[in-house]
A and B are shown apart, each in its own frame.
Chain A
Amino acid sequence: MIWNEKMECMAPENLKNILSERLKNVAAYVYNHCPLYKSKFDAIGVNPGDVKTIDDITKLPFTTKIDMRDSYPFGLFSAPDKITEIHVSSGTTGNPTVVGYTKDDIKLWGESMARAFCCAGAEPRDRIQISYGYGLFTGGLGMHYGAMEMGLTIIPCSSGQTKRQLKLMQDFKPRILACTPSYALYMADEAREIGIDPRTSSWEIGVFGAEPWSEAMRTQIQETWNMRAGDVYGLSEIIGPGVAMDCQYQDGLHVWWDTFYPEIINPETGKPVKAGEPGELVITTLTKQGIPLIRYRTRDVVSINYETCRCGRTCPRISKIKGRTDDMIIVRGINVFPSQIEHVLLGIDGTQPHYQLIIDRPQGKMDEVEIQVEVDEKMFSDEMKHLRSLEEKIKKEISAVLSIGVKVTLVEPKTLARSEGKAKRVIDKRTL
Chain B
Amino acid sequence: MKITQISVFLENKRGRLYRLCDLLGRNKINIHALNIAESEGFGVARIVVDRPKAAMKVLKDADLAANLTDIVAVEVEDRPGGLADILKVIYDNEVNVEYMYGFGEKFSDRAMMIFRFEDTDHATQVLMQHGIKIIQGDDIQDE
- Chain A residue at minimum C-beta to C-beta distance from B99: A383
Chain B contact residues, majority secondary structure: strand
Q: A380-B9, A382-B7, A382-B46 are in contact. Are A410 and B41 (CB under 8 A)?
A: yes
Q: A380-B65, A383-B98 are in contact. Are A409 and B41 (CB under 8 A)?
A: yes
User: Bound complex: CA of A413 vs CA of B37, how far in Å?
Assistant: 19
Please tell me if the beta carbons of A412 and B65 are within 8 angstroms of each other in the complex: yes
Q: A377-B66, A413-B64 are in contact. Are A384 and B37 (CB under 8 A)?
A: yes
User: Bound complex: CA of A409 vs CA of B43, how far in Å?
Assistant: 12
Residues of B in contact, count (CB < 8 Å): 21
Set of chain A residues within 8 Å of B67, measured between Cβ atoms: 377, 380-382
Set of chain A residues within 8 Å of B64, measured between Cβ atoms: 412-413
Give 17 A-B contacts (CB < 8 Å), ordered by A residue: A375-B65, A380-B65, A380-B67, A382-B7, A382-B46, A382-B116, A383-B98, A384-B44, A387-B44, A391-B41, A409-B41, A412-B16, A412-B64, A413-B63, A413-B64, A414-B63, A415-B11
Residues of A in contact, count (CB < 8 Å): 19
Set of chain A residues within 8 Å of B69, measured between Cβ atoms: 382
Please tell me if the beta carbons of B39 and A384 are within 8 angstroms of each other in the complex: yes
* Per-position 1/0 for B69-82, Cβ under 8 A of A: 10000000000000
Nearest 9 interchain pairs by C-beta? A382-B7, A414-B63, A380-B65, A384-B37, A409-B41, A382-B69, A375-B65, A375-B9, A413-B63
Minimal beta-carbon separation of B38 from chain A (angstroms): 8
Is B91's beta carbon under 8 Å from chain A?
Answer: no
* A375-B42, A380-B7 given; 9 more Cβ-contact pairs under 8 Å: A377-B65, A381-B67, A383-B44, A383-B98, A387-B44, A410-B42, A412-B16, A412-B65, A413-B9
User: Bound complex: CA of A383 vs CA of B42, how far in Å?
Assistant: 12
User: Bound complex: CA of A379 vs CA of B42, how far in Å?
Assistant: 14
User: Bound complex: CA of A382 vs CA of B10, how far in Å?
Assistant: 11
Q: A380-B9, A382-B46, A384-B44 are in contact. Are A412 and B66 (CB under 8 A)?
A: no
